[in-house]
């Protein structure tokens, strides 16, 4: 059977099942879906499945955050050939290492989201008295996040060339034979913002562990507006989250321990990963950053913190974030192994009574990031407020007790950038930050004597491989997209 673009392999009742080869599966029709969703309880089951799919190893469970950290300059590799080093050396092409699993998982999840939204709208139009607001808001916010992630992978930065091609805009249930084309980055962002705005009033203003709520939506708005250089709206959205007091920053005493527990006071959006569901074991995100051989001979020591990153932490030996760092294979004094997603340096996990150091929940949005977004937006907005920016930055900078506090006279974007680097290490931000800031990335190739042929030691966002290729399989499946390949591939 010929494969066609993002064809649905599901009925909506299969939303919680695995379907990694969905392009090869006989499609179903919407009639099956219509009989599967009748109540809000049904919609909740579907959302459970969607959140599980977002935690899958092909997306937030590993591949997406790993991409941003492996390419951002804060990590390096001690040796090639251990797995995923092609990310670090930018060895991508349409037919070799295209890293297309995120595209597949993302669009597959979008198919299910659109099925859910379509059926909710049909039931409401038919006079249903069920309250679907929360689930519609969650689905719209999820769609916005997935599209935001995909356009950052496949499209140029918004503030570089927003007229460049982004991704297909899929907001409805498609016929199996549909062949959608890519649209501009600007159009993608317009849809992302629209979905977020449409969703915000539908969502609860209370903690919703493992799900999108009003504040996850607002935090995502703050992040999206920041990437658009819309600093006024970014700050406004961030402040709604901060000022609500629903979430609170960890104290210095509790910051390290926070990684050993689920759904802490900073977790605005956290995806559940469990030993019997979504756990990638020794191929998990946490395993990618752990010291070689620690806990299992299958742990390969894939990535370690680069020396330039460690130099930032070394400015204060009392920085609490040293608590998730441990020695790596370079030597007992080289603290380049990162243990956030192992729970602790002793592999405590985060499941308490059933500790499992690979099934650690993924923090997609933390309050720390929102404070750093607020600091950056306040500094760069049309009428800068440097004092406010310094206050927000200092709320996170105090995790380095010996560093001078920022003031309205000393605060700079570089200070905020360094704090984002230290606070969000291993959480999937650095590469995208460097691209939107239009900063060069210099890789620590010397530590592992890495010889590269696919990139220079220093790159910037004009390098064509800073965005992924459309895979050969996708172009074969969808001829409409075949002539929309990213330049250089």
CATH number of the domain enclosing 405: 1.25.40.390
**Considering its fold, how many domains does the chain have in total?**
1
- How many C-beta neighbours within 10 Å does residue 159 have? 15
Predicted pLDDT of residue 1:
29
Domain-located, residue 10: no
- Taking a C-beta distance cutoff of 8 angstroms, is the pair 111, 159 a contact? no
Closest CA to 166 of 180, 152, 146: 152
Domain-located, residue 329: yes
Domain-located, residue 117: yes
Sole residue written with tokens 């390419």: 71
Residue 136, domain extent: 40-279+301-481
HSE, side-chain direction, 13 A CA sphere, residue 159:
16
Domain-located, residue 380: yes
- Does residue 342 carry a pLDDT above 60? yes
Sheet strands (E) in 372-453? 441-442
For 414-451, write each residue's pLDDT tens digit.
Answer: 999 999 999 999 999 999 999 999 999 999 999 989 98
Kindly write down the DSSP assignment for every residue of 96-139, as one continuous string.
Answer: SS--THHHHHHHHHHHHHHHHHHHHHHHHHTT-----HHHHHHH
- Say what percent of the chain tops pLDDT 90: 89
Packing angle of the helix pair 63-70, 101-125 (nearest 10 deg): 130
Domain-located, residue 34: no
For 472-481, write each residue's pLDDT tens digit.
Answer: 999 999 999 9
* Banded model confidence at residue 177, pLDDT cuts 50, 70, 90: confident
Sole residue written with tokens 């306040």: 378
Average pLDDT taken over every residue of the chain:
92
Predicted pLDDT of residue 16:
35
The CA distances from residue 453 to 74, 76, 90, 336, in Å, are 20, 16, 9, 25
For 234-289, write each residue's pLDDT tens digit.
Answer: 999 999 999 999 999 999 999 999 999 999 999 999 999 999 888 999 999 999 99
Least confident of 312-326, 350-364, 365-379: 350-364
Predicted pLDDT of residue 237:
98
What backbone torsions phi and psi does residue 133 show, to the nearest 5 degrees? -55, -50
Domain-located, residue 15: no
HSE, side-chain direction, 13 A CA sphere, residue 42:
17
For 111-158, write each residue's pLDDT tens digit.
Answer: 999 999 999 999 999 999 999 999 999 999 999 999 999 999 999 999
For 33-63, write each residue's pLDDT tens digit.
Answer: 445 799 999 999 999 999 999 999 999 999 9
* Banded model confidence at residue 354, pLDDT cuts 50, 70, 90: low
Domain-located, residue 8: no
Gap between the Cα atoms of 226 and 223, Å rounded: 5
Domain-located, residue 305: yes
Three-state DSSP state, 56: coil
């Amino acid at each position: 059977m010929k494969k066609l673009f993002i064809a649905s392999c599901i009925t909506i009742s299969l939303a919680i099942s695995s379907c990694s080869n969905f392009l090869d599966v006989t499609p179903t029709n919407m009639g099956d879906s219509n009989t599967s969703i009748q109540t809000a309880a049904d919609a909740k089951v579907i959302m459970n499945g969607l959140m599980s799919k977002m935690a899958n190893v092909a997306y937030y469970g590993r591949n997406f955050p790993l991409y941003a950290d492996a390419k951002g300059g804060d990590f390096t590799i001690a040796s090639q050939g251990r797995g995923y080093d092609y990310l670090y050396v930018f060895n991508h092409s349409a037919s070799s290492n295209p890293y297309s699993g995120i595209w597949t998982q993302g669009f597959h999840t979008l198919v299910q989201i659109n099925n859910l939204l379509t059926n909710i709208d049909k039931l409401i139009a038919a006079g249903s008295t069920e309250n679907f607001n929360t689930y519609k808001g969650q689905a719209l916010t999820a769609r916005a996040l997935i599209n935001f992630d995909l356009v950052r992978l496949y499209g140029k930065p918004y503030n570089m060339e927003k007229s460049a091609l982004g991704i297909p805009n899929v907001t409805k249930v498609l016929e199996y034979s549909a062949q959608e084309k890519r649209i501009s980055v600007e159009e993608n962002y317009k849809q992302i913002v629209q979905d977020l705005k449409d969703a915000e009033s539908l969502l609860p203003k209370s903690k919703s562990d493992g799900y999108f709520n009003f504040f996850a939506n607002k935090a995502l708005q703050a992040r999206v507006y920041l990437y658009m250089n819309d600093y006024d709206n970014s700050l406004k959205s961030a402040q709604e989250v901060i000022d609500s007091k629903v979430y609170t920053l960890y104290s210095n005493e509790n910051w390290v321990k926070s990684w050993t527990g689920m759904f802490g006071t900073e977790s605005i959006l956290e995806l559940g990963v469990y030993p019997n569901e979504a756990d990638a074991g020794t191929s998990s995100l946490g395993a990618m950053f752990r010291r070689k051989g620690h806990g299992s001979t299958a742990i390969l020591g894939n990535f370690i913190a680069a020396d330039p990153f460690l130099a930032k932490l070394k400015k204060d030996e009392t920085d609490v974030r040293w608590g998730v760092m441990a020695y790596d294979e370079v030597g007992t004094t080289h603290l380049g192994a990162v243990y956030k997603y192992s729970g602790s340096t002793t592999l405590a996990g985060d499941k308490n009574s059933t500790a499992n150091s690979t099934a650690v929940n993924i923090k997609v949005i933390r309050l720390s990031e929102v404070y750093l977004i607020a600091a950056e937006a306040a500094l760069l907005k049309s009428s800068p407020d440097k004092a406010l920016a310094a206050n927000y930055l200092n709320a996170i900078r105090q995790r380095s007790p010996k560093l001078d506090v920022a003031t309205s006279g000393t605060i700079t974007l570089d200070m905020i950038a360094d704090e984002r680097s230290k606070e969000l290490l291993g959480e999937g931000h650095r590469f995208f930050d460097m691209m939107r800031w239009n900063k060069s990335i210099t890789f620590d190739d010397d530590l592992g004597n890495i010889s590269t042929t696919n990139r220079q030691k220093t790159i910037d966002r004009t390098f064509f491989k800073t965005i992924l290729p459309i895979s050969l399989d996708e172009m074969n499946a969808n001829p409409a997209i075949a002539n929309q390949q990213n330049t250089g591939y």
